[in-house]
Amino acid sequence: MIVISFPSAADVGEGIAKELGTRHYVVTHKVFPDGESYVRIEAPVKGEEVMLVQKTYPCQDKRLMELLIAVDALKAKGASKVVVVLPYLAYARQDREFLEGEGVSVRTVLRALRTAGADGLYVVDVHKAESLKFFEGPARNLIAAGTWANALSQEGIRSPLIIAPDVGASRRAKALSKKLGCEYLIIKKVRDRVTGEIRHELPSDLHLASTDVVVVDDIISTGGTVSNVAKYVKERGARRVFVVASHGLFVGNAKRRIKEAGVDRVIILNTTALKIVDPIVRYEDVSAELSRFISNNPL
């Protein structure tokens, strides 16, 4: 087995190859003058099982298109098996038809990957684990709670209250609370499907004096979700508020919004190619936990 990654995913690709004790190559990639992507596989892949790593943010459309071209090229070059590793699966939040006639983008993407020739799939913290059924092949999802827990311990967070900002985040909250041995709380979030506005339904009897709070979510996009909860827990007396998430998209003024809400630290995994440089944001490398997960969950 060998690992091949796109340039922006080379950190994770290299990390996985090192942990699995195998070779790592990088896809040759450039952009034609008209904006189309060029992909070339120079690694010797004939008869090999290949693990192909790609980060699908920023520029989701381009990154996904390149990925499809690479999977197809690997198969054409004689790879015996192509397993795609996506630290972040873009287009995963539209996982059903919320309004009549809407496209279900996660289904489109996963079907396209399978059709291009992907034999298996590993993802980190897909928005909803059930969506992986659309791949119609072996697929596994990792919630990297061990990596979050280590970082929180290093930050001196001992027994916080973990908050899931919506029902969808409850699996993450559960996994993290198990690692840290502490309590978690699930808060209900209501999103207006047309305006995108969100509001939280919060318990009135929650007192947080001297309590550290960790808000856990899969994605920080506009920062609206975690900021809302952070403001609320600060008002209730929380001492420190940490946010942990898998994917930091930081759209628009997300960073400012999070700071203004009183968040002390954001812990994010290196699942996207975006790198925010700010003392409030701490990146953690997911490669080691992902490699262990891959070894323990063969496809």
Residues that bind ligand R5P in the complex, under the rule CB under 6 A: 93, 165-166, 168-169, 217-225
Least separation in angstroms between CB 93 and ligand R5P: 6
Q: Which is nearer to ligand R5P, 87 or 165 (CB)?
A: 165
- 3 state SS of 119: coil
Torsion angle (degrees, nearest 10) of CA 115, 116, 119, 120:
-90
Residues 6+ apart with CB under 8 A from 257: 222, 223, 224, 227
**Least Cβ distance, residue 198 to ligand R5P (angstroms):** 6
Place of tokens 């840290």: 180
Q: Which is nearer to ligand R5P, 75 or 127 (CB)?
A: 127
User: Whole-number minimum distance, CB 160 to ligand R5P, in Å?
Assistant: 19
113 vs 169, beta carbon nearer ligand R5P = 169
* Catalytically annotated residues: 189
E strand map for the chain: 2-5, 24-26, 28-31, 37-40, 49-55, 81-88, 120-124, 139-142, 161-164, 184-186, 188-191, 198-201, 213-220, 241-248, 265-269, 281-284
Q: How far is the CB of 191 from ligand R5P (least distance, A)?
A: 7
Contact 286, 55 (CB under 8 A): no
Give me the helices (H) in 213-298, please.
224-235, 254-260, 287-296
